[in-house]
Amino acid sequence: MQKYQIRKEIPEKIKNKLSDYSPLVQKLLFEREIDTKEKAEKFFNPDYERDTHDFYLLKDIKKAVRRILKAVKENEKILIYSDYDADGIPGAVVLHDFFVEIGFSNFENHIPHRNEDGFGLNSKTLKEISQKKVGLIITIDCGIMGVKEVEEAAALGMEVIITDHHLPGSLLPRAHSIINPNQKGDKYPFKHLCGCAVVFKLVQALIKEGRFEIKDGWDKWLLDMVGFATVSDMVPLVGENRTLSHFGLVVLRKTRRPGLRSLYKENFLKPEVISEDDLSFVLTPRINAASRMDEVHLAFDLLRTRDEGLAEAGAEKLNKLNDKRKMAVASMAKSVRMKISKMVEEPKIIVAGNSEWMPSLLGPVASSLAENFNKPVFLWGQNGDNEIRGSCRSDQRLDVFELMKSLPMGLLLNFGGHKFSGGFVVARDRIHFFEEEILKAYKNFNLTEEALPLMIDAELSLKDVDWNLTRDLLKFAPYGKGNKKPVFLFRDVSPDEFDKFGKNKEHLKIVFKEGLRKPLQAVKFFSKDDDNLIRLKEKTKFDLAASIEVSYFRNFPELRLRIIDFF
């Protein structure tokens, strides 16, 4: 249970400016720094032409276009080198589809092995690529930190065009050209594009400069991949990203891709109402499962295929692979819980590892444990090259990046991340000291900040939850980072029914009936057994924090609450 804080009321002056909207809509607009009707209408009604920026503002884009068009004209072999996640893979599909559309076939896609190759350009892989007589490498969602690797590629006779969105280091790679809105000197006004969106801009420039026989507006069909990646990569859904995700969802709902249609069917999703939640909680984990379970090309092949039979088989296989991933994650989490249960006292920070654990699965395990125990978590495993890699997650109080920086020299060979999550590589000869050093560093760390409170947007009664209110809330979608789904406080509620559901009874469902015209369900997925179950059994009144959503279970639209916390 976390603390909560109700957001302040908005000033009268702003209420007057937004008087055409309901008080709740006024408040939600004000929280998004929207204080006039004109701004509100622009927010509620994204316009593709108005709200997207000119791709020519990206530094080096003209230079990159000239080089790619030269390669196409001379039939030079091109290799597309993308990241393995749900941003890099859709980005790879975007460039793949463009080359196919213009009839260029002398290219191939390479996606690195998550556990063995790691993130970004890889020296060993570059040597293998050079044997294929590749003349040009185009990176997607990676490469901006590959200073050494780009030099190696040049020595092997290959030029590199980098398309990326990650923050550059102090030195830029000496690539042929770099397309990244975050590089120094770049004039692109929006700095939060995902990697797939960056390569989409490149494709738009290639279409304009190449004058290919492509049907006008063909590039907009690629927005299914751009929208997918924008939501999946958790970039802020503001500004241009709101527009790209909005129109991306429009295309996703009528996608031409057999792979996506099969994935929808396999997971009982209704295509015409696909939402950002479906992307985040259903589809993205399955795309990421491919690389986490060492079959990265399965996801890429599924998204690019035009064959219905291959799509159906691929979607089924990807679902099974995701089930296997979930079982592995659950097994690892169970091992850590058993370790904790045997301790005399519950630790203030959780540190665990096993040479049998796949590093690619540690992030989801660490996130789950950090949420369940409300403690920082450091986990390590071993990859196929006997390298010890780990992931860490914060309890929202500890700065895990600063803790890693404070560890003794030589313990970590490499690390990265930010305040609340990160990754690291441990020196093999120091692994036996790893837990001890983490605990020691944690004791010396001053935790000055309390965990951030849960921000409540407004108080409502259960009777307020109806379709009129929901239609107002849907105007704010798509929700995500920078445009969070509103959270409401329902005071003094008491359940009429409750139950655990799911394959392993891991989810919670509460039903409210008293005083309502029809029953209202509230659900919490992956709800751990705790004191809340006792309160539910005793039918004790409590305060409930929840968001409002539309469920399409069995293709029937129904309002329900998504539980966030009990108080």
Coil, strand or helix: which one is 450?
Answer: coil
Which residues is 565 bridged to in the sheet? Answer: 545
CATH number at 343-443: 3.10.310.30
CATH number at 55-252: 3.90.1640.30
Q: What Rg value do the Cα atoms of the chain yield, rounded?
A: 25
**Gap between the Cα atoms of 259 and 261, Å rounded:** 5
Structure tokens that stand for 526 in this block: 């992956």
Crossing angle between the packed helical segments 296-304 and 88-101, to the nearest 10 degrees? 40
Tell me which residue of 361, 421, 413 sits closest to 388, measured CA to CA.
Answer: 413
The answer to pTM > 0.75 is yes
pLDDT tens over the chain, length 567 residues? 668 899 999 999 999 999 999 999 999 999 999 999 999 999 999 999 999 999 999 999 999 999 999 999 999 999 999 999 999 999 999 999 999 999 999 999 999 988 777 778 999 999 999 999 999 999 999 999 899 999 999 999 999 999 999 888 889 999 999 999 999 999 999 999 999 999 999 999 999 999 999 999 999 999 999 999 999 998 999 999 999 999 999 999 999 999 999 999 999 999 999 999 999 999 999 999 999 998 989 999 999 999 999 999 999 999 999 999 999 999 999 999 999 999 988 899 999 999 999 999 999 999 999 988 889 999 999 987 788 999 999 988 888 989 999 999 999 998 887 888 889 999 999 999 999 999 999 998 876 556 678 899 999 999 999 999 999 999 999 999 999 999 999 999 988 888 888 877 888 899 999 889 999 999 998 776 565 666 677 667 889 999 999 998 777 899 999 999 888
Residue type, 443: K
Q: DSSP labels for 76-104?
A: --EEEEE-SSTTHHHHHHHHHHHHHHTT-
Q: Kindly list the domain boundaries of the chain, sorted by start residue.
A: 55-252, 255-330, 343-443, 453-566
CATH number at 453-566: 2.40.50.460
